[in-house]
Amino acid sequence: MAEQLCTFWLNKTYFGIDVQQVQEVIRPQVITRVPLAPPDICGLINVRGQIITVIDLQQRLDMGESVSRLNIPQKDQAQGFNIIVCSDHEVVSLLVDDVGDVLEFPENTFQPPPATLKGRMRQILTGAYPFAEGFLLVVDTEKILNVKVT
């Protein structure tokens, strides 16, 4: 059996998320800021009448503030891409730097997260798939949405 992953980049690191959790991938949207929101919440976007929370995934993974988010000008126009994911009837957007292809990996090559990863990133990853250029780190959608911001 193989696992299909929607791939993306954050801060030059290659990630994947289960394609069954992905509703769609869209280009940058105008983000409406939410006063007093946690630092990893960019704000809200309107996707065909549906209001969706935008999560700065790079910040949520403790990788620093997203380059995409740092480039948001006064009108709150974001850079990068929005990966719209569904989990437990909750729909959110993950702000990422760039998106790749949908790739298929054999389940027997799946490995636990690399021991060098620490903190929140290690908690949110389910594991990794090795490939010629390194590792594809697999993100757990449920854990992304349930992280407690400290």
Residue 85: the pLDDT is 96
Q: What pairing do the DSSP bridges indicate for beta strands 90-96 and 50-56?
A: parallel
Strands (E), the chain: 2-10, 13-18, 22-26, 41-47, 50-56, 81-87, 90-96, 98-106, 125-131, 134-139
Residue 76: the pLDDT is 47
Residue 147: the pLDDT is 63
Write the CB contacts of 129 (distance below 8 Å, at least 6 apart in sequence): 5, 16, 105, 109, 110, 111, 135, 136, 138
Residue 58: the pLDDT is 92
- Domains of the chain, CATH where assigned: 2-144 (2.40.50.180)
Cα separation, 30 vs 1, in Å, equals 39
Residue 79: the pLDDT is 72
User: Which alpha helices (DSSP H) does the chain contain, by range?
Assistant: 57-60, 67-70, 119-124, 141-145
Residue 148: the pLDDT is 57
Residue 65: the pLDDT is 65
Determine whether 75 is exposed, middle or buried from the number of CB atoms within 10 Å of its CB (0-12, 13-18, 19+).
Answer: exposed
End-to-end C-alpha distance for the chain, whole angstroms? 38
Q: What is the pTM of this model?
A: 0.86
Do residues 66 and 80 lie in contact, with contact meaning Cβ atoms separated by under 8 Å?
Answer: yes
Q: Show the low-confidence residues of the chain (pLDDT under 70).
A: 65-78, 147-150
Residue 75: the pLDDT is 47
Residue 14: the pLDDT is 94
> Each residue of 114-141: pLDDT tens digit?
888 888 888 899 999 998 888 899 999 9
